[in-house]
Amino acid sequence: MVLKREIYKEFENIVGANNISDDEALLDSYRYPLMHTAIHLGPYYRVYTPRGEAVLLPGSAEEVQAIVKLCNKHKVRVKASSTFWSAWGYPMEDNTIQLDMRRMNRILEIDEKNMFAVVEPHVIGATLQAEAMKHGLNTHIHGPGASCSCLASATALNGLGPDTAYLGHHSENMIGAEWVMPDGEMVRVGSVGSGLGWFYSEGPGPSLKGLIRGMVGSMGSMGVFTKCAIKLHPWPGPAPFPTDGRPPAYKAVLPDNLKSYTLGFPDWEAWADSCYLIWEAGIGYVAHRQFNMFGRDLKGAMVRILSDPTKTLGDIVELLKDPEVQKMTEDMKRDYQIVLAGMTPRDIEWQEKVLDRILEKTGGWKVEGMLEPNLHDWSLLYMLRLGHKNLNLVYGGGYDGCFGIGGTPDFATTGEYPRVEQATDFKKEWEKKGNIVAAGGDGMMGGIGGMGGGGMTLWENFTHFDPHDKASTEGTYEFFNATSEYGKQKGWGPGMEKMNDYARWTDGRTTPKEIRNKILSAGGQPEALRYQRKFYETFNPNDLGDSYYRTLD
Amino acid sequence: MALEDYLPDMERCSQCSYCKWIPFDQVKSWRFADGCPSIAYNNFLSYSARGRFAVALSLLNKQSTYTDRVVDIIYKCTTCGSCDVSDKICRYNLEPLEMIQELKIRAVEDGQVLPAHTAVIEHLKKENNMMMTPAVERGDWAKGLDVKIIPVEKAEVLFHAGCNYSYDKDLQATARTALTILKNAGVDVGIMGNEELCCGGRAYDTGYKEEFTRLAEKNIKAWKAAGVKTIVTPCADGYHTIMRLYPRLGVNFEVYHTVQYFDRLIKEGKIKLSKSVPMRVTYHDPCHLGRRGEPYIPWEGKEKKVKGQVIVYEPRKPRYNGAWGVYEPPRDILKSIPGIELVEMERIKEYAWCCGAGGGTREAYPDFSNWTATERIEEAKATGAEALVTACPWCERNFIDAVNSTGADIKVMDITDLIKQAI
């Protein structure tokens, strides 16, 4: 489909001729390849999201508002995205225009005293962090990493990440938003809505935080967010990072109040106990099972490759034979990374002592290989900036997380045959078929603290494949189907590999209604989704969003 | 390699957008975080490496055809290689720069060319230079210098001035200075005068592979006939072309950029920098000397998989990601000049912002090219430097033009001119 010329012209009048296009090839660069699984569905070999009718680059909230009003007038769907990290941000159906928010990229304010920043959609974690650090502050960077929009994760998703226990997740950090509603009206959420400035998302003023997010977020299907305020947190280090080294093995030699450790544990129970203890003590600036995304058997070798600019993936087989690497890999079998940040010399001294006591109590250890200065400085920068998050794609180009184990730390780790080991054994069998990377079954990666203060862990078992390879892509899909079936048999429920099946289907378009209803009914809190349906109908009267916003008839 | 050979890369690109930015570990501010000038100026995703992968795939799959917009997307890229560095932070095996070069080459083969490029290339075919000036004037820059003319006379080192230094009246003095410094340091050096030809590198980066090959073969033949083994050039483009592209044609000359040669001569005590040059300067890494200036490593092999789906190469494939570019010699020179205070910009070395002159953009998209240079000028000014120093005539020319058009209060200099002041 092509927009009627007169409608195109009306859009052009809003954004200017340089900021709109319906060129076919250009539109094809706004389609997501679903052989990449698109977090979390598929992978579907050589299937793409539908081509939009046009791409627009709005430059202001007023332009966004005018566009959305015009969409309502002509009944054209609208999908906004800022950093386009996954299929969430792309059209679901024909008759959709794509808004690319990259021209709205300013940090409007950093309020040092009140510790927040006001940002536009295309501000990313890396730039906000760099600017915040100049004020002795830091921002939470959510799981997809420093490349992604802060606003998108704060307004349209939950935005969890490795530093969540200390720096919160972005839906907690959001203290106000400017929202162009699906009908084109604009509302400012929270205290800013009463003209009182950005300090609290629940008022005084319209408190719509729950409504705009729903259960997990609207993912671009309920209007367009044009600004938001994000709470910042203390940063007791230098600005900018004193980054050194050759690419990609950058590292940062930071002051002694900042330390990075990889902790290993003798069994999963000890692992879980340590999580409770660090939360209880309130230590840890970043805590995440990060490098395990490369897989239990390969992570030691991968850490060596990534921290040495002379090495490539081609060294992996040789490195796996290295006794030192083998020892480190074994030491890291049940592990996570933790960064300690002391606000004062006494604070770091105390945190170090507490960590040592926790390790003593649980029988855990600091993985010796990771204490080597080069690796320490590399790991510290990696964890603080999250500038390498897409290394999950390094092996073959594709990845997705399956199983998805969320809950208290011992939820997956206790018992005679812990759930994490069952999932590992299951995946290991599938790795033998050759369609996914043989990484040792356990690619469980995720946060040690899924909410501010800790309280839960959330893992997904990373699975790596080659999206260019039909057998690998289809084999991965089969594996994910089997994973879901296994989870069902075990009573674990559907895993993360099917998280977005309710919205987008195998052809890259909207999931058929009967399937969608079945999936959402089987999930948690169906009544909440029925309630969300009412929200959707009220706020999106012309149905110009899409099915990522979870609703149930 | 043909465009089709990059189909795996097109499908393996996960659209993470790293290609738009400098490596995130190096981001020091909001203002200077962009890496790719093309997406920063044009905004649509299609103007990034990830977008060009998608556009190329769309064309190969015949989902779309050439349009004015597509041609614009293809050519409005400086081929600076910033995307290549950032991509390889996380995606070791993607080759966005090579793919973009092949996309341009394919467009030229398909007759999808820009008039501004056609004019330059037609002239290049006739007069063997990129400067729209007659071949017979090529050696004029060296008039009055007592220098050997190869092949009439023999010399250990060939000084290849390059098109820009040969013809640009504002810059010729730098070439004369460089040659004089070499001679005074005792180097047995000669030039080819009117017989010097364009290296062909800029034609290659614009998509004119055939013209590149013609010039490369002519140069190789002439240099071989003259017994040339060592080449020194003050042009970063020329350095890259001779070092990285000529070996693909089966030849290997020992090639140095003047900064490497000068640095060596300074360290050997053959150039003495004794006069103080009190100046606060910042250094711009030319793309072709920096991230694209890594040593060439011959490789022929194929992809294979280990551990099921881990992609590796047999034999081990070199990875060009800017790690081993020419970064320290120019900095060492500046540090060795008494009185010079070197202050670094935010984006340096492998993640330096481009000057905007490459890939045919200066010729076809002067506004974009000028904007890119102006961005760099702004970054240089933010350091408080009095002068922006570089080591490439194309960068220098573009910066001078940007300074003239914006009235920016900063000098633009070649490092050679600072050496001259210090001798």
The 10s digit of each residue's pLDDT in B364-412 is 999 999 999 999 999 999 999 999 999 999 999 999 999 999 999 999 9
Question: CB–CB of B14 and A393 under 8 A?
Answer: yes
* pLDDT tens track for A31-43: 999 998 767 899 9
A79–chain B Cβ distance below 8 A for any pair: no
Q: Which residues of A105-122 are buried (b: 16+ CB within 10 A; e: fewer)?
A: bebeebbeeebbbbbbbb
**Statement to judge: residues A341 and A290 lie in one domain:** yes
Neighboring chain A residues of B30 at a CB cutoff of 8 Å: 107, 123, 127-128, 130-131
Residue A106: which of B355, B30, B89, B238 has the closest Cα? B30
Structural domain includes residue B324:
no
Q: Is B93 exposed, middle or buried (0-12, 13-18, 19+ CB in 10 A)?
A: buried
Last residue of some domain: A456, A472, A497? A497
- Pick the residue from chain A with its C-alpha nearest to B20: A147
Residue span of the structural domain in which B157 resides: 116-267
Structural domain includes residue B372:
no
Question: Nearest Cβ partner of A30 from B23, B45, B311?
Answer: B45
Residue span of the structural domain in which A79 resides: 5-101
Q: How many domains does chain A have?
A: 3
**Statement to judge: residues A291 and A211 lie in one domain:** no
Q: What's the rounded Cα separation, in Å, for the pair B131 and B120?
A: 8
Structural domain includes residue B423:
no
Neighboring chain B residues of A395 at a CB cutoff of 8 Å: 307, 309-311
Question: Nearest Cβ partner of B45 from A29, A36, A395?
Answer: A29
Is residue A213's pLDDT more than 90? no
HEC sequence for A464-501 = EECCCCHHHHHHHHHHHHHHHHHHHHHCCCCCHHHCCC
pLDDT at residue number A413: 85
Q: What are A282's two structure tokens?
A: 């309130």
Q: What's the rounded Cα separation, in Å, for the pair B347 and B26?
A: 8
Neighboring chain A residues of B54 at a CB cutoff of 8 Å: 28-29, 31
Q: What would the DSSP string read from start to end of A111-127?
A: ETTTTEEEE-TT-BHHH
Give the single-character DSSP code of A459: E
Surface of A (287-306) touching B: CB under 8 A: 298
Q: Positive or negative, the Cα torsion across A352, A353, A354, A355?
A: positive
Is residue A320's pLDDT more than 60? yes
Spacing of C-alpha B28 from chain mean position: 25
- Pick the residue from chain A with its C-alpha nearest to B7: A468
Q: Which of A14-23, A82-91, A522-531, B263-272 has the lowest mean pLDDT?
A: A522-531
**Statement to judge: residues A162 and A68 lie in one domain:** no
Last residue of some domain: A497, A530, A547? A497
Give the single-character DSSP code of A509: S
* pLDDT tens track for A100-130: 999 999 999 999 999 999 999 999 999 999 9
Structural domain includes residue B233:
yes
A286 strand-pairing partners: A339
Question: What percentage of chain B has pLDDT greater than the value 70?
Answer: 100
Structural domain includes residue B24:
no
Question: CB–CB of A314 and B316 under 8 A?
Answer: yes
Is residue A244's pLDDT more than 80? yes
Question: Nearest Cβ partner of B25 from A102, A387, A467?
Answer: A387
Question: CB–CB of A398 and B14 under 8 A?
Answer: yes
- Pick the residue from chain B with its C-alpha nearest to A394: B91
**Statement to judge: residues A163 and A280 lie in one domain:** no
- Asked if the peptide bond before residue B96 counts as cis, ω within 30 degrees of 0, the response is no
Is residue B154's pLDDT more than 80? yes
Spacing of C-alpha A45 from chain mean position: 23
Neighboring chain B residues of A21 at a CB cutoff of 8 Å: 44, 69
Structural domain includes residue B50:
no
How many other CB atoms are found less than 10 A from the CB of residue B43?
A: 20
B44–chain A Cβ distance below 8 A for any pair: yes
Give the single-character DSSP code of B353: P
Q: What's the rounded Cα separation, in Å, for the pair B395 and B234?
A: 12
A68–chain B Cβ distance below 8 A for any pair: no
Average pLDDT over residues B141-160: 96
Last residue of some domain: A234, A260, A283? A234
Question: CB–CB of B64 and A25 under 8 A?
Answer: yes
Q: How far is A332 from chain B (nearest CA, A)?
A: 20
pLDDT at residue number A38: 64
**Chain A interface mutation, best of B26, B82, B307, B316, highest count of A Cβ atoms under 10 Å:** B307
Q: What's the rounded Cα separation, in Å, for the pair A249 and B350?
A: 13
Surface of B (53-92) touching A: CB under 8 A: 54-55, 57-59, 63-65, 67, 69-70, 73, 85, 88-92
- Supply the CATH number for residue B207's domain: 3.40.50.1860
**Statement to judge: residues A263 and A153 lie in one domain:** no
Structural domain includes residue B19:
no
Q: How far is B249 from chain A (nearest CA, A)?
A: 26
* pLDDT tens track for A361-395: 999 999 999 999 999 999 999 999 999 989 999 99
pLDDT at residue number A1: 56
**Statement to judge: residues A292 and A438 lie in one domain:** yes
**Statement to judge: residues A323 and A417 lie in one domain:** yes
**Statement to judge: residues A145 and A251 lie in one domain:** no
Q: Please report the beta strands in A196-272, taking only residues with DSSP state E, as ranges in sequence order.
A: 224-231, 233-234, 243-244, 251-252, 258-264
pLDDT at residue number A495: 84
CB B223 within 8 A of CB B275: no
pLDDT band at B279 (very low <50, low <70, confident <90, very high): very high
Residue A110 backbone dihedrals phi, psi, to 5 degrees: -125, 115
Tokens 């005539």 — which residue?
Answer: B393
Q: What's the rounded Cα separation, in Å, for the pair B5 and B209?
A: 17
Q: How many CB pairs under 8 A join A and B?
A: 228
Neighboring chain A residues of B26 at a CB cutoff of 8 Å: 243, 250
Q: What are A341's two structure tokens?
A: 């940040």
Q: What's the rounded Cα separation, in Å, for the pair A103 and A82?
A: 9
B297–chain A Cβ distance below 8 A for any pair: no
Q: What are B16's two structure tokens?
A: 């993470």
Structural domain includes residue A288:
yes
Neighboring chain B residues of A108 at a CB cutoff of 8 Å: none
**Statement to judge: residues A387 and A430 lie in one domain:** yes
Is residue A545's pLDDT more than 60? yes
pLDDT at residue number A525: 85
* pLDDT tens track for A393-403: 999 999 999 98
pLDDT at residue number B92: 82
CB B410 within 8 A of CB B380: yes
Q: What's the rounded Cα separation, in Å, for the pair A226 and A259?
A: 37
> In a 3-state reduction of DSSP, which class is residue A232?
coil
Structural domain includes residue B330:
no
To the nearest whole number, what is the mean pLDDT of chain A? 94
* pLDDT tens track for A57-76: 999 999 999 999 999 999 99
The pTM score is 0.97
How many other CB atoms are found less than 10 A from the CB of residue A201?
A: 28
B324–chain A Cβ distance below 8 A for any pair: yes
Question: CB–CB of A28 and B316 under 8 A?
Answer: no
Q: What's the rounded Cα separation, in Å, for the pair A140 and A92?
A: 30
Surface of A (155-214) touching B: CB under 8 A: none
To the nearest whole number, what is the mean pLDDT of chain B? 97
A88–chain B Cβ distance below 8 A for any pair: no
**Statement to judge: residues A248 and A183 lie in one domain:** no
- Supply the CATH number for residue A128's domain: 3.30.465.10
Question: CB–CB of A393 and B30 under 8 A?
Answer: no
Is residue B240's pLDDT more than 80? yes
Strands A137-138 and B387-390: unpaired
Q: In A156-306, which ranges are continuous DSSP H helix?
A: 164-167, 170-173, 209-213, 268-281, 299-306
> In a 3-state reduction of DSSP, which class is residue B389?
strand
Neighboring chain A residues of B25 at a CB cutoff of 8 Å: 241, 243, 250, 252, 381, 385, 387-388
Neighboring chain B residues of A23 at a CB cutoff of 8 Å: 64, 67, 69-70
Question: CB–CB of B46 and A389 under 8 A?
Answer: no
Q: How far is B240 from chain A (nearest CA, A)?
A: 20
Q: What's the rounded Cα separation, in Å, for the pair B379 and B383?
A: 7
pLDDT at residue number B328: 98
* pLDDT tens track for B330-373: 999 999 999 999 999 999 999 999 999 999 999 999 999 999 99
**Statement to judge: residues A84 and A146 lie in one domain:** no
Average pLDDT over residues B164-169: 97
Q: How many domains does chain B have?
A: 1
Q: Which of A222-231, A447-456, B330-339 has the lowest mean pLDDT?
A: A447-456
Q: What's the rounded Cα separation, in Å, for the pair B35 and B349?
A: 12
* pLDDT tens track for B76-93: 999 999 999 999 998 888
- Supply the CATH number for residue A23's domain: 3.30.43.10
H or E element that contains A365: strand A365-366
Surface of A (431-460) touching B: CB under 8 A: 431, 434-439
Average pLDDT over residues A452-461: 87
**Statement to judge: residues A275 and A320 lie in one domain:** yes
Q: What's the rounded Cα separation, in Å, for the pair B11 and B54?
A: 8
Residue A164 backbone dihedrals phi, psi, to 5 degrees: -60, -35
Average pLDDT over residues B39-43: 98
